[in-house]
Chains A and B, each alone.
Chain A
Amino acid sequence: MRILLVEDEVKVSNFVSRGLSTERYAVDTALDGNRGIELSQGCHYDLIILDLMLPIIPGNQVLKLIRRRDSNVPVLVLTAKDSLQDKVDIFEAGADDYLTKPFAFAELVARVKALLRRGPVNRASRIKIDDLELDRLSQHVKRAGKRIDLTSKEYALLEYLMANPGRALSRTMIIEHVWDQSFDGVTNIVDVYVRHLRSKIDDGHSRKLIRTIRGVGYAIEEQGAW
């Protein structure tokens, strides 16, 4: 999978391309709009990550030029603007998704994967991690074969974690998935729910599945992997 990253901030460009390389993507970088257009015309990319505020040619201009030549390549826009009008403009210019700076890398990866349609969108009706099982149809959760009762929020939280195994999910991502962005200001709602979920899932088991990744968020994974 080949990704083109058009971003004028060298440092942002560096860590994004480094991080994506770790995820085994091939990343080409362009530091301005001109170079970005050149590269996008030179070879085929599976995804373009485009910063909106670019020197020489502004990002939405670049986006329109890319769209004129190739209407299929998915484009993820990075932006420091997130007013309603900005969002409308971004989609009208032909973006497939956008991410507001500053973003957690985990979220960037999640969106990249979603756009490339290859997981972690786990659509299986049953997800199993270690001896924890979640059935999406009956909404039943079992640990070591024993049924665990969850509230609907706890279930939604667990499902989101289990659909992204091994991936650190930030509190913002969790809030937007399980609640909605109006709860963003609510202080520790994610922590309280995770604590409750953890006591139901992990208490009494020697292998703890839910992990806290300080400063980043939460992840669920089979123990041996860490």
Chain B
Amino acid sequence: MNFHSLRFRMTAWYAGLLTLSLLLFGVSVYLGLQHYLDSALRKDIAEEARSIGDKILEDVDKNGEKYVIEETAENYAPEINGRFIRITRQGGTELYQSRMPKDGSFNPDFVSRPRGPANSPPYRREVVGRATLMVYHYEYSIPSGKTFLVEVGASYHEIAKVLHGLVFILALGTPIIVGVAVAGGYWMMQRALQPVNEIAAQAERLGYRNLRERLPLVHSGDEIERLSMALNRMISRLDASFQHINRFSADVSHELRTPLTILRGELETLAQQHVSLEHMEMIGSALEETDRLSKIVEQLLAISRLDAGEACRELVRLDLGALAMSIADQLRLLADEKLISMTFNVTSGVEVEADQIRLRQVVANLLDNAIKYTPAGGWVKLSVFLLDETTAVLEIQDSGVGIASSDLPHIFERFYRSDGARSRSTGGSGLGLAIVRAICVAHRADVKVSSTEGQGSGFRVEWPLATKVFTVDERTSGAALSSATRNPSSTTQITLG
């Protein structure tokens, strides 16, 4: 779990606040209930004491003390109710005292007498053994002038039981509620943040080559919808500026063509005049540079067209191995000249879909580079094979000078030269690999490079296999084709000196 994730932090805050408020709520409920039960108990025992006076003691003279004892015991049943009742005659002799309650929680004999004057505070708290009692005392006078002290007490036991129950419920309930809420909140946060994750994942995939794609729109009406819309508008602006750059390089290339035509034409006209050999040499050199400039303009235009997705419309099904072999065959002399041995490891029947000229250009450029940067006596190896059910691989390895690791990430960039002097002396526009990459990207293929300086380089092109979907009338020949694609039965291994 990522403890810094928004989801985790939000949930943690939420859980903390919820726990805190539940604790505050519990404490106030506890205190409120305690207060309420306490005053209810006080009221209860005071009423009981008064009713003993009013209903039983009132007629003590008429009915006798025995009646008082029996009536009190019968009507109030203090032993059963867990109450304490004591009636004391004036002078301190006891008229009645309840016996030990049924649950034996306290012994009435140990309840002390109220101290001080009769008008001392009517409620007092007594600790009897393990129990705490609330005792109310009240002086009752009958018309004949006799006074009795009536005491009614009740144990806190019941209140404590209720309060304990409450604490138990709160202690058990709070973690459950918090737990459920946290789980729910975590899930809700995931739901709420899911679009953000999707947006982030999609945004990761966007590069300058697929800027026409947009992030998923979240129609939630909330901040995330606003975020996705704002990001999409930003991508639109990026797209527009990339297109602008692309159009710009295409426009520049176009604009350069006319002056180049003139330059070339004038120089050629000049070359036809009778000029000195020295001047002829200079004109020739100027013409060569015009040529190079033309080539650069052409290749830049080709790249910007590939980037804009305008090229590569003539897709045809091609045998990658056969195509690569035929290119290698046509370049053989270049290798022979430098005594470079060319080895082939080509699986036949690897079919790809491509613009033929473009794919040939990829192979020709890579092979040309391999031969160019391999010193005399070295080797170049060309392999074509199936990587898996969807991808064909073309690999061109050499025993050449290799590429410095600091240059590796840049070699597919336009005009990137790892070593100006060396590259320039071997010619080339500095656009060859940029074109290779542009072609690959336009075909949804991938080109990778690996190299050890001084030991050689390997270029690997991963091209998607031709899809095995056939129209109705192609079905018969298609079956044979697809089985050939799946079971590359023959592998050609040829070595040319």
Q: Closest Cβ of chain A: how far from B116's Cβ, in Å?
A: 115
Interface segment, A63-71, A120-128, A134-142, A181-189? A181-189
User: A2 on the interface (CB 8 Å rule)?
Assistant: no
Residue of A nearest to B426 (CB): A187
> Counting chain B CB atoms within 10 Å of each CB, which of A81, A83, A196 scores highest?
A83
In the complex the two chains form, is A179's CB within 8 Å of B330's CB? yes
Find B357's partner among A9, A11, A181 (CB 8 Å cutoff): A181
User: A148 on the interface (CB 8 Å rule)?
Assistant: no
Known: A102-B290, A192-B333. A84 touches B314 (CB 8 A): yes
Residue of A nearest to B289 (CB): A215
User: A114 on the interface (CB 8 Å rule)?
Assistant: no
Interface segment, A13-21, A32-40, A158-166, A203-211? A13-21
Q: How large is the interface on A (under 10, 10 to 19, 20 to 34, 35 or more residues)?
A: 35 or more
Q: Bound state CA distance, A104 and B294, in angstroms?
A: 11
Q: Bound state CA distance, A174 and B291, in angstroms?
A: 14
In the complex the two chains form, is B426's CB within 8 Å of A81's CB? no
Q: Closest Cβ of chain A: how far from B358's Cβ, in Å?
A: 8
Chain B residues near A184 (CB, 8 Å)? 295, 298, 361
User: B286 on the interface (CB 8 Å rule)?
Assistant: yes
Q: Bound state CA distance, A12 and B260, in angstroms?
A: 10
Known: A102-B260, A182-B360, A214-B287. A11 touches B266 (CB 8 A): yes
In the complex the two chains form, is A187's CB within 8 Å of B427's CB? yes
Chain A residues near B286 (CB, 8 Å)? 215
Find B364's partner among A15, A182, A196 (CB 8 Å cutoff): A182
Q: Bound state CA distance, A189 and B271, in angstroms?
A: 25
Known: A83-B310, A179-B330. A185 touches B261 (CB 8 A): no
User: B432 on the interface (CB 8 Å rule)?
Assistant: yes
In the complex the two chains form, is B254's CB within 8 Å of A22's CB? no
Chain A residues near B267 (CB, 8 Å)? 215
Q: Bound state CA distance, A85 and B314, in angstroms?
A: 11
Q: Bound state CA distance, A187 and B371, in angstroms?
A: 11
Q: Bound state CA distance, A206 and B466, in angstroms?
A: 56
User: A46 on the interface (CB 8 Å rule)?
Assistant: no
User: B288 on the interface (CB 8 Å rule)?
Assistant: yes
Find A9's partner among B258, B271, B290, B360 (CB 8 Å cutoff): B258
Q: Closest Cβ of chain B: how far from A112's Cβ, in Å?
A: 14
User: A80 on the interface (CB 8 Å rule)?
Assistant: yes
Chain A residues near B51 (CB, 8 Å)? none
Q: Bound state CA distance, A12 and B333, in angstroms?
A: 38
In the complex the two chains form, is A215's CB within 8 Å of B361's CB? no
User: B472 on the interface (CB 8 Å rule)?
Assistant: no
Find A153's partner among B258, B291, B333 (CB 8 Å cutoff): B333
Q: Bound state CA distance, A15 and B327, in angstroms?
A: 38
Known: A215-B286, A215-B288. A101 touches B364 (CB 8 A): no
In the complex the two chains form, is A102's CB within 8 Å of B357's CB? no
Q: Closest Cβ of chain A: how far from B264's Cβ, in Å?
A: 5
Known: A80-B257, A80-B258, A185-B368. A180 touches B294 (CB 8 A): no
Chain B residues near A183 (CB, 8 Å)? 330-331, 360, 364
In the complex the two chains form, is B357's CB within 8 Å of A182's CB? yes
Interface SS, B side: helix
Find B285's partner among A81, A179, A214 (CB 8 Å cutoff): A214
Q: Closest Cβ of chain A: how far from B484's Cβ, in Å?
A: 25
Q: Bound state CA distance, A130 and B357, in angstroms?
A: 38
Known: A84-B314, A183-B364, A187-B428. A103 touches B261 (CB 8 A): yes
Known: A186-B365, A214-B281. A81 touches B254 (CB 8 A): yes
Chain B residues near A186 (CB, 8 Å)? 331, 334, 364-365, 368
Residue of A nearest to B355 (CB): A84
Chain A residues near B281 (CB, 8 Å)? 214
Q: Bound state CA distance, A186 and B428, in angstroms?
A: 8
User: B61 on the interface (CB 8 Å rule)?
Assistant: no
In the complex the two chains form, is A11's CB within 8 Å of B262's CB? yes
User: A45 on the interface (CB 8 Å rule)?
Assistant: no
Residue of A nearest to B258 (CB): A9
> Counting chain B CB atoms within 10 Å of each CB, which of A104, A187, A192 scores highest?
A187
User: A155 on the interface (CB 8 Å rule)?
Assistant: no
**CB proximity to A under 8 Å, residues B334-372:** 334, 337, 357-358, 360-361, 364-365, 368, 372
> Counting chain A CB atoms within 10 Å of each CB, which of B268, B285, B368, B432 scores highest?
B268
5 pairs of residues in contact across A and B, judged by CB atoms under 8 Å: A12-B261, A84-B311, A101-B257, A105-B268, A215-B271
Can you add 16 more A-B contacts, CB < 8 Å, to A9-B258, A101-B261, A153-B330? A9-B262, A19-B265, A81-B254, A83-B310, A100-B257, A102-B263, A102-B294, A105-B265, A151-B333, A186-B364, A186-B365, A187-B368, A187-B428, A192-B334, A213-B271, A214-B283
Binding site for A on B (CB under 8 A): 254, 257-258, 260-269, 271-272, 280-281, 283-288, 290-291, 294-295, 298-299, 301, 305, 310-311, 313-314, 327, 330-331, 333-334, 337, 357-358, 360-361, 364-365, 368, 372, 426-429, 431-432, 435
Binding site for B on A (CB under 8 A): 9, 11-12, 15-16, 18-19, 22, 80-85, 100-106, 151, 153, 170-171, 179-189, 192-193, 196, 213-216
